């Protein structure tokens, strides 16, 4: 399926109250597993991919690295893929717009742009944050890609939930396809949904204790996990290696996935 068809497919998957569950793979293998298990769309994760490169999260990847990684995932699966492109790899609106155009060239159906200054935890001033998103929206319309505008300041400690809501409301008014304020509570989530623009919910904090049905009842249109599953894999790696080296305990290996199951998922659908 060509990129524009995948983009069109991605748009229609955003149904408030019937959310798209969008897992975040961190490499080709995890993308193929998630696709093979029935995912309808995927999203890259800067945290998860950074781990594969030996890097911590937070603007440690270059734009070229993020684009190459996104292109690999797009080639590996016949699904819409959304790109986690952090702050757009630059402070000024023109750089953000260029990043959105390059995201489309990489084969992505969607791209997310944050309002936080990276590396670091601070947020761009409101007017600059809005100007950056307006530039991203214009570029997204030009190249035909789904633009998710993110207010990450609450998650990063840069501002409160009221400011996250104010920013997302402004992003929605400007024409963002999806709005996203990671980590906000149920009340703020409902206020985001009241904008009428599709809302992405991150399964983190208290939200990860909710079922998909409970998240759907809030009216969200998309659920993502960010680096969540990558960190689960890291936890198994840390705990298992520590047990082997410190206690001589290999029992964690009893929970390994069967080779035949993994091999089938890596091969993909057989025609």
Token readout for 132 is: 């950056």
Q: How many residues does the chain have?
A: 271
Which residues, at least 6 apart from 184, have a Cβ–Cβ distance to it below 8 Å?
Answer: 154, 161, 164, 165, 192
pLDDT in tens, 194-225: 999 999 999 999 999 999 999 999 999 999 99
Peptide bond before residue 119 is cis, with ω within 30 degrees of 0: yes
- Give this prediction's pTM: 0.95
pLDDT at residue 1, as a whole number: 80
Considering the chain, what is the average pLDDT of its residues?
Answer: 95
- Does residue 23 have a pLDDT over 90? yes
H-helix or E-strand spanning residue 69: helix 63-76
Distance CA 150, CA 197 (A): 13
| Domain coordinates in residue numbering, the chain | 3-226
pLDDT at residue 59, as a whole number: 61
Largest separation between any pair of C-alpha atoms in the chain = 58
Distance CA 216, CA 21 (A): 10
Which residues, at least 6 apart from 161, have a Cβ–Cβ distance to it below 8 Å?
Answer: 154, 181, 184, 185, 188
- Does residue 271 have a pLDDT over 70? no
CATH number, span 3-226: 3.20.20.60
Distance CA 110, CA 3 (A): 10
pLDDT in tens, 90-145: 999 999 999 999 999 999 999 999 999 987 778 999 999 999 999 999 999 999 99
């Amino acid at each position: 399926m060509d990129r524009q068809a995948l983009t069109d497919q991605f748009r229609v998957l955003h149904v408030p109250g019937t959310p798209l569950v969008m897992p975040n793979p961190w490499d080709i293998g995890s993308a193929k597993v998630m696709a093979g298990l029935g995912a309808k769309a995927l999203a890259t994760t800067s945290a998860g991919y950074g781990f594969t490169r030996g890097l911590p999260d937070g603007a440690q990847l270059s734009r070229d690295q993020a684009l190459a990684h996104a292109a690999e995932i797009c080639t590996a699966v016949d699904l819409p893929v959304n790109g986690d492109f952090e702050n757009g790899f630059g402070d000024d609106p023109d750089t953000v717009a260029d990043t959105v155009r390059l995201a489309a060239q990489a084969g992505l159906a969607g791209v997310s742009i944050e309002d936080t200054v990276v590396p670091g935890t601070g947020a761009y001033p409101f007017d600059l944050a809005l100007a950056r998103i307006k530039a991203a929206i214009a570029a997204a319309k030009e190249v035909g890609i789904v633009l998710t505008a993110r207010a990450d300041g609450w998650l990063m400690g840069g501002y409160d939930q009221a400011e996250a809501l104010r920013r997302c409301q402004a992003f929605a008014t400007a024409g963002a396809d999806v709005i996203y304020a990671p980590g906000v509570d149920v009340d703020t989530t409902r206020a985001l949904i009241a904008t009428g623009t599709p809302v992405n919910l991150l399964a983190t904090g208290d939200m990860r204790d909710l079922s998909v049905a409970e998240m759907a009842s809030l009216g969200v249109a998309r659920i993502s996990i960010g680096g969540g599953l990558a960190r689960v894999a890291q936890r198994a790696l840390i705990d298992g290696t520590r047990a082997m080296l410190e206690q001589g305990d290999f029992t964690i290996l009893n929970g390994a996935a069967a080779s035949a199951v993994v091999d089938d998922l890596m091969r993909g659908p057989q025609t």
